[in-house]
């Protein structure tokens, strides 16, 4: 029987978990967000070509792909908490070191390491939180965890707007690395997943067996759906958002103006998350994903063909609103498709496949821009990719709202 004191401590434990995981998530987003502004500044300082600019984002995503797969697998073997702590430490230290690089090669190597830490943390964090809250609020809490991403992007935009033009991109990178170390300290007393700890060491299966299980008949349909969903969403997100400040410069705005407009667009991410968090326990995961992804595709088309500042900002805000709301739903939905024994592996593999899309997206923009294509056709490609994700969810996905995940 649950006592009154035990009941009272549940929200505190849940809120502490959300806050602790969320702070790390915030600094992850701060690093990725500030990269889009740093790339625009590096293009000026180092005379980078569009292709070189695209490789910065792509190398980061290659690291994220490796980190997502490796850390997801390790989380099923060594526990969610241990892997969770190491990922943030790796990426924060590498981020600080990248501020002192003087060559593109050194910067790219460190971006790979940063990406590995970042890519590993996100699927492990969502898995840990999913396993630690009650079914009736699981989706909402994971979407709220993802909302810390918006706070990190907003902070990145603020730092970039006030720091980079005045003090340079190196100072901005140092500022993003130092606070992240504090998040490591916060996690020391973080409890591991009780669902994971309930599985005895003898009962845990091998790494290869977990990978094979993800593709058995029971889970193959869900795995196919999630891999398509993750690839298309990450492909379009990194293709569009890492290039936003540079896109604004291409549209004829100054570097400072582009930072200002992207900051305004980024503010729309928060209501995107909060509305998705509210709707996901009422309407279900599939409905929220389908609606928010459709809104993303339409906004991408409108943004790509926008011709003046007002239209760019308006459609950019809609793009931020719908796309980040869909990200929150995707992180809530993915862990619910697998049992505890293989959950880290399933989520990590899906996220890893998605990061392959993140490698290709920025390169597509860089290559097509260098070849003389306009932003309209480029953003049309991203809209089509999102439409394919919607089809995969509606045709292959199952509804997991408030279901027990074992």
Q: Is residue 259 part of a domain?
A: yes
Q: Is residue 2 part of a domain?
A: no
pLDDT in tens, 297-331: 999 999 989 888 888 889 989 999 999 999 999 99
Q: Provide the pLDDT for residue 307.
A: 82
Q: Provide the pLDDT for residue 182.
A: 67
Q: How many CB atoms lie within 10 A of CB 19?
A: 12
Q: In terms of residue numbers, what domain contains 73?
A: 14-188+206-396
Q: Provide the pLDDT for residue 283.
A: 92
pLDDT in tens, 21-42: 888 788 878 887 788 788 888 8
Q: Provide the pLDDT for residue 234.
A: 93
Q: Is residue 163 part of a domain?
A: yes
pLDDT in tens, 117-127: 988 988 888 88
State the average pLDDT for the chain: 86
Mean pLDDT across the stretch 206-224? 94
Half-sphere exposure of 293 (CA within 13 A, CB side): 28
Concatenating the DSSP letter of every residue in 70-84 gives HHHHHHHHH-HHHHH
Q: Is residue 406 part of a domain?
A: no
Mean pLDDT across the stretch 256-267? 79
Q: Is residue 22 part of a domain?
A: yes
User: Residue 279's closest CA among 287, 267, 269, 271?
Assistant: 287
Distance (Å, whole) CA 225 – CA 240: 23
pTM: 0.83
Q: Provide the pLDDT for residue 289.
A: 97
Distance (Å, whole) CA 328 – CA 247: 25
Q: Lowest-pLDDT range, 171-180, 205-214, 287-296?
A: 171-180
Reduced to 3 states (helix: H, G, I; strand: E, B; else coil), residue 69 is helix
Mean pLDDT across the stretch 61-73? 92
Is the pLDDT at 90 greater than 90, yes or no?
A: no
Q: How many CB atoms lie within 10 A of CB 31?
A: 27
35 and 152 in contact (C-beta within 8 Å)?
A: no
Is the pLDDT at 75 greater than 50, yes or no?
A: yes
Q: Is residue 200 part of a domain?
A: no
State the sign of the Cα–Cα–Cα–Cα dihedral 238, 239, 241, 242.
positive
Is the pLDDT at 280 greater than 90, yes or no?
A: yes
pLDDT in tens, 216-243: 999 999 999 999 999 999 999 988 887 7
Q: Provide the pLDDT for residue 89.
A: 82
37 and 160 in contact (C-beta within 8 Å)?
A: yes
228: tokens are: 């398509």
Mean pLDDT across the stretch 201-227? 92
**pLDDT band at 186; cut points 50, 70, 90:** low
Distance (Å, whole) CA 367 – CA 144: 36
Q: Is residue 211 part of a domain?
A: yes
**pLDDT band at 350; cut points 50, 70, 90:** very high
**CATH number of the CATH domain containing 348:** 1.20.1250.20
How many domains does one find in the chain? Answer: 1
Is the pLDDT at 363 greater than 90, yes or no?
A: no
Q: Is residue 5 part of a domain?
A: no
Mean pLDDT across the stretch 45-56? 84
Q: Provide the pLDDT for residue 247.
A: 74
Is the pLDDT at 184 greater than 70, yes or no?
A: no
Q: Provide the pLDDT for residue 3.
A: 46
């Amino acid at each position: 029987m649950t006592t009154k004191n035990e009941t009272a401590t549940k929200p505190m434990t849940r809120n502490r978990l959300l806050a602790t995981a969320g702070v790390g998530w915030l600094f992850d987003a701060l690093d990725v967000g500030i990269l889009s502004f740093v790339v625009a500044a590096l293009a000026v300082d180092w005379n980078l070509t569009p292709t070189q600019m695209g490789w910065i984002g792509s190398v980061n995503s290659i690291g994220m792909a490796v980190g997502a797969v490796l850390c997801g697998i390790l989380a099923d073997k060594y526990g969610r908490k241990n892997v969770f702590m190491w990922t943030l430490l790796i990426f924060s230290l590498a981020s600080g070191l990248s501020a002192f690089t003087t060559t593109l090669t050194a910067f790219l190597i460190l971006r790979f390491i940063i990406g590995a830490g970042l890519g590993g943390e996100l699927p492990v964090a969502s898995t840990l939180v999913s396993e630690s809250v009650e079914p009736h609020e699981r989706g909402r809490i994971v979407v709220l965890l993802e909302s810390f991403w918006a706070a990190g992007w907003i902070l990145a935009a603020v730092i970039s707007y006030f720091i980079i033009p005045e003090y340079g991109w190196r100072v901005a990178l140092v500022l993003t690395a130092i606070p992240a170390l504090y998040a490591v300290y916060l996690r020391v007393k973080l409890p591991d997943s009780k669902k994971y700890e309930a599985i005895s060491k003898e009962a845990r299966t091998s790494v290869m067996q977990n990978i094979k299980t993800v593709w058995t008949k029971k889970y193959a349909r869900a795995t196919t759906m999630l891999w398509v969903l993750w690839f298309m969403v990450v492909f379009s997100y990194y293709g569009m958002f890492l290039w936003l400040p540079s896109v604004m410069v291409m549209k004829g705005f100054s570097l400072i103006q582009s930072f200002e407009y992207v900051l305004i667009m980024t503010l729309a991410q928060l209501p995107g998350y909060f509305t998705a968090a509210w709707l996901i326990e009422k309407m279900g995961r599939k409905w929220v994903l389908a609606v928010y992804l459709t809104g993303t595709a339409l906004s991408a088309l409108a943004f790509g063909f926008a011709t003046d500042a007002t239209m760019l900002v308006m459609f950019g805000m809609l793009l931020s609103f719908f796309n980040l709301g869909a990200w929150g739903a995707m992180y809530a939905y993915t862990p619910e498709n697998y049992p505890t024994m293989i959950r880290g592996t399933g989520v990590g593999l899906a996220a890893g496949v998605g990061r392959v899309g993140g490698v290709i997206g920025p390169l597509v923009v860089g290559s097509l821009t260098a070849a003389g294509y306009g932003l309209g056709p480029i953003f049309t490609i991203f809209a089509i990719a999102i439409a394919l994700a919607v089809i995969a969810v509606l045709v292959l996905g199952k509804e997991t709202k408030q279901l027990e995940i074992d």
